[in-house]
Amino acid sequence: MRLFNDQGTAAVSTNHVAAAAGISPGNLYYHFRDKEDIIRELFERMFATWDTVYRLPSNRRPILSDLDALITANYRQIWRHRFAYGEMAALLRGDPRLRTRYQVMRRRGYAGFKSLIKAFAASGVLTALPPTARELNVLTELCWVISEQWPVNLELSGRAFTANGIRQGIALMRMVLTPHLARGARADPL
């Protein structure tokens, strides 16, 4: 993952991966058929983090600091898997098997994200707005697009996805959600 994050997937061969792992290329091929297998495995690890990072406390209602923690955790995961987010479209176009798996996991993640927004609304952190299912879908989609496309946006604008880029993504997400915070929640800095 470090090689892909630092150099991009196109610049890294299986020989580079084997050398970085301190094993022979033959030993690497014993575990992975090709570079696409390695990329698929890294995506599986990313999917597994989605299941653990984006959870609310089970022993109480979510509060504003939980929302802030989820936003921050989201961008930390994007940073950790930045090669995947930065090259998402090309990787999915080039590997139909990965594309199918990603679409399944994305639909599941999107539904979970929508549930998070509903939970924050039910707990009073977010206003009852968006009042309609359509507006809830729009807010969910907007937050999802910002998260998923933030690394690409930075690259296209000539900026690097660095720690500062993470802070900018967090600030952008906070700006989108701030108008939807309940009045009492706005006093707590998001």
Given this model, what pLDDT does residue 131 score?
Answer: 63
**Residue 11 covered by a domain:** no
d(CA 122, CA 9): 42
Given this model, what pLDDT does residue 187 score?
Answer: 47
**Residue 27 covered by a domain:** no
Q: Which of 173, 183, 125 is nearest to 145 (CA)?
A: 173
Q: Is the pLDDT of residue 130 over 60?
A: no
Structural domain boundaries enclosing 42: 35-187
**Residue 19 covered by a domain:** no
**41-54 pLDDT, tens digit each:** 999 999 999 888 88
**Residue 111 covered by a domain:** yes
CATH classification at residue 108? 1.10.357.10
Please give the mean pLDDT across all residues of the chain.
89
**Residue 171 covered by a domain:** yes
**Residue 113 covered by a domain:** yes
Angle at the Cα of 82 from the Cα atoms of 87 and 7, rounded to 5 degrees: 70
**Residue 12 covered by a domain:** no
Angle at the Cα of 108 from the Cα atoms of 102 and 39, rounded to 5 degrees: 25
**Residue 165 covered by a domain:** yes
Total structural domains within the chain: 1
Q: Is the pLDDT of residue 188 over 50?
A: no
| Section 78-93 average pLDDT | 94
Can you say whether residue 34 is alpha, beta or left, with left for phi > 0 and alpha for psi between -120 and 50 degrees?
beta
| Confidence bin at 184 (pLDDT 50/70/90) | low
**137-157 pLDDT, tens digit each:** 888 889 989 988 998 899 889
